């Protein structure tokens, strides 16, 4: 019996039973843009950057099980155009000021914007009011940059066993919250060594007193576009040198 | 925030009783939060902490659930919480003016708690009383047929701090308004009759009748019920004590729909028979009725009904004396979230979580409530299944059209002489329906609510059927004098309010289209905004996680196609217009200084003072 495979942009890509389209692509070193997906955690399918066309239907690559013979369209003008609009939505929904952001160059949102040639935010900025949480001794939370990917939620719950983070609110009012009556990170049992401290794809969870350890211009996505790094797409650990 | 006012000891005692009353089950979190709010008025931070501790859940998870539902409040809301139904049909009956009138009488600002913490007035999504609106909810209880006099009297009652029990009972009267009866509504259905018929047939034979009947889901999607039932019946349960479930979706949130309200009020036995025989057919022993929060007023009667059925042997162990055939029904309340009408979001809500639609596959028939095979059916579907049990599949298939068998309950509201419930065999033309309800000068009909389609006059000869115009049952009629742009704008605001926020396109896109629509409404729109709406429509259709997002721009798309002049006469230019308006930016300053004279305005607006919104 021949091995199972999908046809990804015309290229046969093998997969094993129970793998998603994203799993198969990652294993083959083929880049499907994504933000909320991380191979170490349960797939979620909320950012929709990984939207592909499978047998003619739009689906999320990270949650859709691969099926033998499935024809998947990934790198096409139509899909990249939609992804660019999704990025613009994420940019205007929060407050993203790349030039002054400590995560610039290591940020997946920024890297994807370069990758997909997003030249402007296009939509009017929402300018939400999201106060910082600087209560914790070692870590700063800058909610302005949150893209609601829930990676920290999943890491804290599934790996650290702490459930420090969760989402509250609904719709455009959805927001990240901390597991404490005061709402402050200092009053939770969060620690810098937590997995949750290392998975933020943007710049919400920032280690204090380590700013700009690697100069801008020499950071992860400054050196190489995100698509080229498809095979090592794990986010950088806090403090890890490039 | 006056958390301090809650004595810690009293809080613990109160919450302890509530949590114990729900068997300390984390899956009961939403029901526990609702009960806690009932007793405390709102959900103070300390209460969330105490509930989390009692259920051994992370506090953030409890707060996340409490923050999701519109009817749960994390800040004080007043002893009288007034929510005006904000469906377009309520608006057409003058709800906006009545809301302003009540606010003026009470000397309060919309959406803000009065300084004496007595009352708050705001809007809520459609309350399912479009046939007797304008409507509002006061502390969760519906009031119908509002008028200026009634609103003035309500202001007096609130200021006099009269308990709701002492308000005129006439205010709370809800009529069925059944205007046309067919297979379901014309019959008398004694409790248990359909169930006994199904038990007599046996499970396999009942499934066979369902296949013959070709009954399709009445929630709008039209999935064949027999296939759902058979899949769940064949699907293995998971774990040692795994059981199958039957869920009745009574989260009737689609604006303009109120048929389930009538079925729950006057045909509850038919529904419970349908649920029970569905359980018998698929091998489930537990049923759950998910009742939208707006219909909480029906709860006492429904619970009494279940108690009576238990006494009569129609519920509980050994149904109708048949050993080994057990079924129990539990009722869960929703708390103001339209998205929970989506079956997987509903399951999440039933499990006490945020109502976020699940990724599919797997489908609920294999992995549903608590991970077990689950059939989720619309209230009307289950009532129809009861009829199939009684009269057989062939009889049912003889009604309606070949692809859309049986009858359909239509909720008709808007510019018609006799709004209410009309039951027709599938295949009836829109024209016939409009004639029967007295819609003399209709220019448009919104079928199946904002997520359905908008028909213009040249389409009125089309038929209500899955193969032509599918519908969950709502028909909102708009007379020639109505502004279809405002209709679409109301729907756009509805979707923004009800988006669960899970996926990027729906969460942000619904806000972006509202911005476009408001910009056009404020006279600053151009062709640019219209192009943007089309672009966002295409994206939401393609990339949204669930049907809510996929449908969110449908009403805009339809009205732009069919009623373009309603948009174009508002456009300032056919090119780009900036969103930033210097004069509008001064609105806050004008409000603070109480000025609205010409010198308080900029530019063109200065020449026409008093135009400030």
Predicted confidence (pLDDT) per residue in B6-57, tens digit: 666 778 888 999 999 999 999 999 999 999 999 999 999 999 999 999 999 9
- A214 to chain B, closest Cα gap in Å: 31
Q: Residue B5: its pLDDT value, please? A: 55
Q: Smallest CA–CA separation between B170 and chain A, in Å?
A: 36
Check CB contact under 8 Å for B361 and A65. yes
Residue B465's pLDDT is 96
In a mutational test of the B interface, the residue from A42, A89, A170, A174 whose CB has the highest number of chain B CBs within 10 Å is A170
Selecting from B63, B499, B539 the residue whose C-beta is nearest the C-beta of A85 gives B539
Residues of A in contact with B66 (CB under 8 A): 168
The answer to whether the CB atoms of A86 and B505 lie below 8 A apart is: yes
Q: Tell me whether B310 touches chain A (CB under 8 Å).
A: no
**Which chain A positions have a beta carbon within 8 Å of B59's beta carbon?**
179-181
The structure's pTM equals 0.94
pLDDT of B4: 47
H or E stretch covering B85:
strand B80-85
CATH of domain B485-568: 1.20.1440.230
A230 — contact with chain B (CB < 8 Å)? Answer: no
Q: For every residue of B330-347, which 3-state class applies, written as one string?
A: EEEECCCCHHHHCHHHHH
B508 touches chain A (CB under 8 A): yes
Contact between chains at B68 and A168 (C-beta distance less than 8 A): yes
Q: What is the pLDDT of residue A92?
A: 98
Give the nearest chain B residue to A44 (CA atoms): B359
CATH of domain A97-224: 3.30.70.20
Percent of chain B topping pLDDT 70: 96
Of the options 3.30.43.10, 3.40.630.30, 2.160.10.10, 3.40.30.10, the CATH number for the domain spanning B80-175: 3.40.30.10
Per-residue pLDDT at B220: 83
Give pLDDT, residue A234. 40
Q: For B179-397, which CATH class?
A: alpha beta
Q: How far apart are CA A103 and CA B455, in angstroms?
A: 51
Q: For residue B514, give every residue at least 6 positions away whose Cβ sits within 8 Å of its Cβ, in sequence order, or none.
A: B492, B493, B496
B497 touches chain A (CB under 8 A): yes
Count of C-beta atoms within a 10 Å radius of residue A108: 23
Q: How confident is the model at residue A238 (pLDDT cuts 50, 70, 90)?
A: very low
φ, ψ of residue B393 in degrees (nearest 5): -70, -35
CA distance B177 to chain A (A): 35
The span from the CA of B546 to the CA of B248, in Å, is 20
Q: Check residue B560 and give its pLDDT.
A: 94
β-strands B474-479, B453-456 pairing: unpaired
CA dihedral B131, B121, B171, B163 (to 10 degrees): 150
CB contact under 8 A, B507 and A93: yes
**Range with the lowest mean pLDDT among B72-86, B389-403, B482-496, B577-591?**
B577-591
How many angstroms separate the CA atoms of A169 and B416, rounded? 38
Where are the domains positioned within chain A?
5-75, 97-224
Selecting from B66, B501, B504 the residue whose C-beta is nearest the C-beta of A171 gives B501
Minimal Cα distance from A90: which residue of B?
B504
**Chain-chain contact of B498 with A174 (C-beta, under 8 angstroms):** no
CATH placement of domain A5-75: 3.10.20.740
What is the per-residue pLDDT across B414-441, written as a single tens digit (0 to 9) for each? 999 999 999 999 999 999 999 999 998 9
pLDDT of A229 over the 90 cut: no
* B408-480 CATH fold: Ubiquitin-like (UB roll) (3.10.20)
Q: Which residues of B touch A47 (CB under 8 A)?
A: 503-504
Number of Cβ pairs < 8 A linking chain A and chain B: 118
Quick one: pLDDT at residue B611? 43
Any B CB within 8 A of A19 CB: no
Overall average pLDDT of the B243-248 stretch: 97
Q: CB-based contact (8 Å) between B370 and chain A? A: no
Is pLDDT of A11 > 70?
yes
Identify the pLDDT of residue B212.
Answer: 98
- State which residue of chain A sits closest to B550, comparing Cα positions: A58
Contacts with A, B 380-409, CB within 8 Å: none
Q: B502-530, pLDDT tens digit by residue? A: 999 999 999 999 999 999 998 889 999 99
CA distance A122 to B243: 51
Interval B540-568 mean pLDDT: 94
* pLDDT band, very low/low/confident/very high, at A3 (cuts 50, 70, 90): confident
Q: Give the whole-angstrom CA distance, residue A58 versus residue A60.
A: 7
ipTM: 0.94
For chain B, what percent of residues have pLDDT higher than 90?
A: 88
Q: Is the pLDDT of residue A191 over 90?
A: yes
**Per-residue confidence (pLDDT) for residue B605, from 0 to 100:** 56
Which tens digit of pLDDT belongs to each residue from B298-350?
999 999 999 999 999 999 999 999 999 999 999 999 999 999 999 999 999 99
Q: Under 8 Å CB-to-CB from B430, ≥6 apart: which residues?
A: B445, B447, B455, B459, B460, B461, B462, B463, B464, B469, B475
Please answer yes or no on whether B508 and A90 come within 8 Å at the CB atom. Answer: yes
Name the residue among A46, A171, A174 with its Cβ closest to that of B496: A171
Q: Which of A51, A164, A168 sits opposite B67 (nearest CB)?
A: A168
A166 and B512 within 8 Å at the Cβ level: the answer is no
Cβ–Cβ below 8 Å for B507 and A172: yes
Nearest to B499 among A93, A166, A171 (CB): A171
Mean pLDDT across chain B: 94
pLDDT value at A91 more than 80: yes
Q: Which residues of B touch A163 (CB under 8 A)?
A: 58, 60-61
pLDDT at B287 over 60: yes
Rounded CA gap, A142 and A128, in Å? 13
Window 55-84 of A: residues touching B by CB (8 A cutoff) are 58, 60, 63, 65, 82
Determine the pLDDT at residue B604: 60
Predicted pLDDT of residue B316: 96
**Nearest alpha carbon to residue B344 among B152, B184, B548, B587:** B548
B47 contacts in A (CB within 8 Å)?
A: none
Measured torsion, CA atoms of residues B236, B238, B243, B249, in degrees rounded to the nearest 10: -90
Cα–Cα distances in Å, from A98 out to A7, A94, A128, A219, B76? Answer: 37, 12, 16, 14, 39
Residue B362 has pLDDT above 80, yes or no: yes
Question: What is the mean pLDDT of the segment spanning B69-98?
Answer: 96
Contacts of B377 (CB under 8 A, 6+ apart): B217, B219, B225, B228, B246, B247, B248, B249, B274, B278, B385
Per 3-state DSSP, chain A is made up of helix, strand and coil in percentages (nearest 5) of 30, 15, 55
């Amino acid at each position: 019996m021949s091995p199972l495979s999908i046809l990804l942009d015309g290229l046969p890509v093998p997969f094993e039973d129970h793998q998603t389209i994203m799993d198969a692509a990652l294993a083959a070193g083929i880049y499907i843009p994504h933000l909320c997906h991380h191979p170490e955690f349960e797939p979620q399918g909320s950012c929709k950057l990984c939207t592909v066309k499978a047998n003619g239907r739009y689906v999320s690559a990270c949650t859709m099980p691969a099926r033998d013979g499935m024809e998947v369209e990934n790198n096409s003008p139509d899909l990249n155009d939609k992804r660019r609009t999704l990025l613009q939505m994420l940019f205007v929904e929060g407050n993203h000021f790349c030039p002054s952001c400590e995560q610039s160059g290591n940020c997946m949102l920024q890297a994807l914007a370069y990758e997909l040639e997003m030249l402007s935010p296009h939509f009017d900025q929402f300018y939400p009011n999201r106060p910082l949480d600087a209560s914790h001794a070692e870590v700063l939370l800058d909610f302005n940059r949150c893209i609601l990917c829930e990676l920290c939620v999943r890491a804290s719950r599934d790996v650290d066993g702490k459930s420090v983070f969760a989402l509250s609110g609904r719709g455009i009012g959805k927001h990240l919250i901390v597991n404490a009556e005061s709402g402050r990170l200092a009053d939770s049992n969060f620690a810098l060594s937590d997995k949750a401290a290392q998975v933020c794809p943007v710049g919400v969870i920032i280690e204090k007193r380590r700013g700009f350890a690697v100069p801008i211009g020499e950071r992860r996505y400054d050196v190489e576009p995100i698509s080229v790094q498809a095979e090592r797409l794990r986010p950088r650990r806090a403090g890890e040198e490039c | 925030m006056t958390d301090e006012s809650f004595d810690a000891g009293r809080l613990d005692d109160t919450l302890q009783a509530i949590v114990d009353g729900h068997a300390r089950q984390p899956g009961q979190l939403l029901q526990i939060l609702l009960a806690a709010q009932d007793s405390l008025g709102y959900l103070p931070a300390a209460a969330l902490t105490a509930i989390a501790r009692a259920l051994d859940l992370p506090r953030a998870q409890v707060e996340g659930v409490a923050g999701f539902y519109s009817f749960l409040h994390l800040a004080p809301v007043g002893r009288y919480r007034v929510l005006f139904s904000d469906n377009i049909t309520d608006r057409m009956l003058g709800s906006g003016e009545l809301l302003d009138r009540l606010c003026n009488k009470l000397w309060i600002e919309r959406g803000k708690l009065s300084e004496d913490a007595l009352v708050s007035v705001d809007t809520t999504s459609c309350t399912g009383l479009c046939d007797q609106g304008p409507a509002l909810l006061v502390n969760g209880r519906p009031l119908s047929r509002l008028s200026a006099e009634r609103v003035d009297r309500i202001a007096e009652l609130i200021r006099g701090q009269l308990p709701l029990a002492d308000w005129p009972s006439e205010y709370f009267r809800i009529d069925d308004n059944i205007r046309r009866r067919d297979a379901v509504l014309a019959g008398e259905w004694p409790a248990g009759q359909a169930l006994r018929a199904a038990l007599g047939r046996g499970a396999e034979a009942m499934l066979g009748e369902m296949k013959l009947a070709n009954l399709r889901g009445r929630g709008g999607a039209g999935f064949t019920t027999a296939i759902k039932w058979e899949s769940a019946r064949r699907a293995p349960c998971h774990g040692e004590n795994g059981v199958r479930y039957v869920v009745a979706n009574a989260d009737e949130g689609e604006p303009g729909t109120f048929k389930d309200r009538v079925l729950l009020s006057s045909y509850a036995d038919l529904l419970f028979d349908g649920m029970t025989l569905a359980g018998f057919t698929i091998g489930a022993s537990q049923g759950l009725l998910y009742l939208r929060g707006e219909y909480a007023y029906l709860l006492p009667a429904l619970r009494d009904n279940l108690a009576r059925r238990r006494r009569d042997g129609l519920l509980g162990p050994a149904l109708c004396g048949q050993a080994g055939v057990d079924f129990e029904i539990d009722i869960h309340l929703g708390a103001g979230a339209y998205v929970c009408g989506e079956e997987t979001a509903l399951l999440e809500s039933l499990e006490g979580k945020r109502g976020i639609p699940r990724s599919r596959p797997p489908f609920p028939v294999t992995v549903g409530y608590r991970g077990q095979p689950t059939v989720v059916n619309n209230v009307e579907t289950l009532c129809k299944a009861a009829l199939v049990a009684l009269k057989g599949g062939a009889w049912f298939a003889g009604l309606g059209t070949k692809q859309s068998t049986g009858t359909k309950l239509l909720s008709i509201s808007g510019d018609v002489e006799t709004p209410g419930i009309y039951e027709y065999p599938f295949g009836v033309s829109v024209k016939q329906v409009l004639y029967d309800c007295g819609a003399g000068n209709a220019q448009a009909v919104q079928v199946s609510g904002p997520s359905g389609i908008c028909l213009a006059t040249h389409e009125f000869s089309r038929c209500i059927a899955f193969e032509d115009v599918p519908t969950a049952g709502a028909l909102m009629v708009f007379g020639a004098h109505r502004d279809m742009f405002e209709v679409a704008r109301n729907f756009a605001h509805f979707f923004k309010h009800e988006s669960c926020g899970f996926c990027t396109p729906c969460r942000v896109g619904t806000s972006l289209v509202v911005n476009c629509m408001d910009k056009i409404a404020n006279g600053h729109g151009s062709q640019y905004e219209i192009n943007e709406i089309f672009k966002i429509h295409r994206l939401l259709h393609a990339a949204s996680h669930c049907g809510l997002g996929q449908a969110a721009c449908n009403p805009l798309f339809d009205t732009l196609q069919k009623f373009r002049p309603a948009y174009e006469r508002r456009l300032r230019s056919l090119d780009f217009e900036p969103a930033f308006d210097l004069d509008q930016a001064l609105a806050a300053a004008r409000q603070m200084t109480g000025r609205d004279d010409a010198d308080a305005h900029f530019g063109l607006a200065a020449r026409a003072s008093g135009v400030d919104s």
